[in-house]
Amino acid sequence: MARITTPVPGYNGQGPGTLHFSDGVAETDDEAVIAYCRQAGYGIDGEPPVRERPAVADPREVTGPVVVGAPARDAAVDPRPGDFRPPVNAGEANPHGPDVYAPGLPGGGHVPTAPPAEPGPAGDGAEGGDAGPDTPAPAQSAPVAEWRQWVLTSVVDNDPEVHAEVEKMTKAELIKKYGG
């Protein structure tokens, strides 16, 4: 018969298995209950209860963060040329302001995938951005300088006033007006 003592001195009540503790002590000859109590931190046959503490890392010994997966990157803040449909005006305006907006997902239902095109610079009702198959519009992720160059060489005529207007436009305005 093994004498079991609880980790809580003076405990009275039910214990593991069929044990009933009185003043923190119970007796049993059930080997399974004895093995369980030994693992759970009860004292066995006069040995004091031993409570194993789980190993916890000391935060002073941690050398640095552990990165799991790829770090997140916001295309509205840090656009890159390979981004698929980055927000319009990304990297140029306040990413939380109204000038930076996502054009929508392709095939995303009723949401348009790009801002609607406006009439061309001549006001003839033709949509802007139709420069023909020889000069396709740059990717929406292309820098504003590339968009301005494309508009000046492929879309608009040699009017100095139009050129001055294009040089002042943001990428979002260029895409909206000429690249739709």
Instruction: For the chain, give the longest Cα–Cα distance.
Output: 106
User: In the predicted model, what is the mean pLDDT of residues 44-62?
Assistant: 73
Does some domain include residue 128? yes
Q: What is the pLDDT of residue 30?
A: 92
More confident residue, 23 or 158: 23
- pLDDT tens per residue across span 56-99: 777 777 777 777 777 777 777 777 877 777 788 888 888 877 78
Lowest mean pLDDT among 33-37, 45-49, 144-148: 45-49
Does some domain include residue 104? yes
- pLDDT tens per residue across span 84-138: 777 888 888 888 777 877 766 554 444 444 555 555 554 444 444 444 446 788 8
Residues 39 and 83 in one domain: no
Separation CA 21–CA 122 (nearest Å): 96
Does some domain include residue 168? yes
Does some domain include residue 55? no
Residues 102 and 35 in one domain: no
Structural domain including 151 reads: 76-180
Separation CA 50–CA 55 (nearest Å): 15
Task: Scan for tokens 């000429």, then name that residue.
Answer: 178
Residues 28 and 104 in one domain: no
Q: What is the pLDDT of residue 29?
A: 92
Residues 87 and 150 in one domain: yes
More confident residue, 73 or 51: 73
Residues 95 and 176 in one domain: yes
- pLDDT tens per residue across span 15-40: 988 899 999 899 999 999 998 888 88
Q: How confident is the model at residue 12 (pLDDT cuts 50, 70, 90)?
A: very high
Does some domain include residue 125? yes
Residues 80 and 124 in one domain: yes
pTM here is 0.30
Separation CA 124–CA 154 (nearest Å): 17
Residues 103 and 180 in one domain: yes
Residues 39 and 81 in one domain: no
